[in-house]
Structure 1
Amino acid sequence: MSPPDARWISTFLEAEAAEAGAARNTVLSYGRDLADFLSFTQSRGLALADLTRADIEAYLIRCEAEGLAKSTRARRLCSIRQLYRFAYEEGWRADNPALRIAGPGKAQRLPKTLAIEEVDALLEAAGTVGRTEADQIRNRCLMELLYATGMRVSELVSLPVAAARGNPQMLLVRGKGSKERMVPLSPPAREALAAWLKTRDAAEEEARLKRRATPSRFLFPSGSKEGFMPRQTFHALIKDIAVAANVSPARVTPHVLRHAFATHLLQGGADLRAIQMLLGHADLSTTEIYTHVLEERLRALVLDHHPLAKP
């Protein structure tokens, strides 16, 4: 016997968080998508246990009519598929009605990126932005680490301080689904990290002596609920750094720096599979959005070296 509809979703989300090891942001995304889907089914007097493929397609048609982007509709269908996969495994359904529904697909757009000169300007400006010298040292470290490793912003701000001890040449990063990967550090990033650790540790020791505060386990501690710098804070910070660097803030986000990391590596001759490992992509197809860089490089290679291309 299947539980009530709301319990379907809460049990699924609990299982994703506990058993599948899904990242918190992934679970929150599933929750938002499925809450909207449940609102639709309840408005039509439908039960999740009895839903048909046609009912799910009707929901997707409504999403399209509301003007939702292809990527949003594809994500919502994925959430519904995962819910029914779980329901099938639990014995609540004898099938997965969403399995054979063709999704809208994602619009193929080239990733936004920055020129090397623009990134250099951002890195230079990062050390001048901040109310105090400690803030400036921290901000430079954040930007150097982001560009040197291509980390996701959530991976960067939640780095444990233990991973940065001992002047490491590599950082151990915990990514989506709690999967771990090693990313190398450039000399400027190691220098910025060492400077920040010295400043951070001195501030922690001073706070401990004054307030008997417990030392933070995070590299970038804060008074937030999680104990580390919130992603939203870093998003706002990177806009200030862009202004200081005379780069349009509308073009600069943490994810654009991640794209710049991958694009610049490929332009320099890096292998696509190596980029996949560094970015933490589970599937090479995700990394293939950068193949436009390879195509440009191959075209230049032919024009420069093929005998028939010479005047």
Structure 2
Amino acid sequence: MRASAAIENFLEMMSAERGAAQNTLDSYRRDLEDAASFSAGTGIPLPLAEPVTIRTYLDDIANRGFAATSQARRLSALRQFFRFLYMENIRADDPTSTFDAPKKDRSLPKIMSEADVEKLLARAEVETLDAKASNTVHFQALRLHALLEILYATGLRVSELVGLPVTVARSDNRFLMVRGKGSKDRMVPLSGKARIAMMKYLELRDALPGLCDSPWLFPAVSESGFLARQVFGRDLKGLAARAGLKTSAISPHVLRHAFASHLLQNGADLRAVQQLLGHSDISTTQIYTHVMEERLHQLVTKHHPLAD
């Protein structure tokens, strides 16, 4: 089987049977096509590659300066690809079965302090009240305020946030039903402030021609029909600069981290945070355990009779 055909069949399986998101499929495609190009250069199509070819490829991307996390991702893609070929009886073995993933340091997520988040949200709200702003600027201010209030209230992934259907704003529920990775639904609570910001934005959105009929809460002229993640990220950094905050330390993903960290700092259970974030594995949520460790240390220091 040609490498291109094998890769297409694998991606079709990942989409149909495992519900992989488009971003995930695009990542698999890039990784596998790079491996296929390398393997073809040795005279062997990727579906027929032997362990020595895979090992040489992994050494090659390491020499190209790929980080350990990127190397591990490439190996993971290859493992799933060859496991698929094995299950489909296209080949009789898995050439990646004896490989260990590159060791990688687990970096702590960047987070914002509660004070900085409050400063950011306050600035976003102030900009919605500018009476001198044009209609376009006023709309963008209301949209950005709604995005930030919803993000900090729910901890949604940025792709989940910008792709929210407008029906979530038209219901009178205190919860959002979100479809996350792997097409898995989860329920997240929505704060009163987030709901107010969303309704103020929705009122203007519904009054604008070309937007009121969109099925998306944050419509835009784009391939998807909703606001691009990059546009939200750019607007957020602009707001951070106007709020006097360091822009390099702020992104939509950092606010998601802030949501989780601030919950844990204030006594939330790790399992509850796992559910809210949509993590399928608790080990993913455990990057925040440094927050819990500090809270437990303070608890013992304050309340244990022998702490002094």
| Structure-2-length-normalised TM-score | 0.94
In structure 2, C-alpha distance between the alignment counterparts of 1:53 and 1:300, rounded to whole Å: 51
- Say yes or no: does 1:176 pair with 2:181: yes
Q: Which residue of 2 aligns with 1:219?
A: 217
| Structure-1-length-normalised TM-score | 0.93
- Say yes or no: does 1:150 pair with 2:155: yes
In structure 2, C-alpha distance between the alignment counterparts of 1:33 and 1:81, rounded to whole Å: 12
Q: Which residue of 1 aligns with 2:21?
A: 23
- Say yes or no: does 1:73 pair with 2:68: no
Which one of the candidate residues 137, 145, 150 is aligned to 1:132? 137
Counterparts of 1:54-65 in structure 2 under 5 Å? 54-65=52-63
Secondary structure of the structure 2 residue equivalent to 1:79: helix
Secondary structure of the structure 2 residue equivalent to 1:264: helix
Which one of the candidate residues 262, 265, 284 is aligned to 1:267? 265
In structure 2, C-alpha distance between the alignment counterparts of 1:214 and 1:277, rounded to whole Å: 33
Q: CA deviation at 1:106?
A: 3.1
Q: How well do the aligned residues superpose, as a CA RMSD in angstroms?
A: 1.5
Matched positions, count: 301
8 Å CA contact 2:112–2:258 kept in 1: the answer is: yes
2:207 partner amino acid: A
In structure 2, C-alpha distance between the alignment counterparts of 1:243 and 1:168, rounded to whole Å: 34
Q: Please list every run of 5 or more consecutive structure 2 residues that lacks an aligned counterpart in the other structure.
A: none
1:21-58 residue CA offsets vs partner (Å, 9 max, x unmatched): 10000000001111110111011111223322222111
Q: Which residue of 1 aligns with 2:301?
A: 303
Return closer, same or farther for 1:42/1:251 CA change in 2, 3 Å cut-off.
Answer: same
Which one of the candidate residues 244, 247, 256 is aligned to 2:245? 247
1:53-109 residue CA offsets vs partner (Å, 9 max, x unmatched): 222111111111111101100000010011111111211111211123100133211
Q: CA deviation at 1:115?
A: 0.4
Q: CA deviation at 1:214?
A: 7.9
Q: Which residue of 2 aligns with 1:193?
A: 198
In structure 1, C-alpha distance between the alignment counterparts of 2:261 and 2:97, rounded to whole Å: 35
Which one of the candidate residues 284, 287, 307 is aligned to 2:285? 287
Q: Which residue of 2 aligns with 1:48?
A: 46
Secondary structure of the structure 2 residue equivalent to 1:132: helix
2:23 partner amino acid: N
8 Å CA contact 1:168–1:190 kept in 2: the answer is: no
In structure 2, C-alpha distance between the alignment counterparts of 1:297 and 1:93, rounded to whole Å: 52
Give the percent of matched residue pairs that are identical in Structure 1 and Structure 2: 49
1:164-190 residue CA offsets vs partner (Å, 9 max, x unmatched): 212320001111111111110111101
**Following superposition, which runs of at least 4 residues in structure 1 exceed 4 angstroms of deviation?**
none
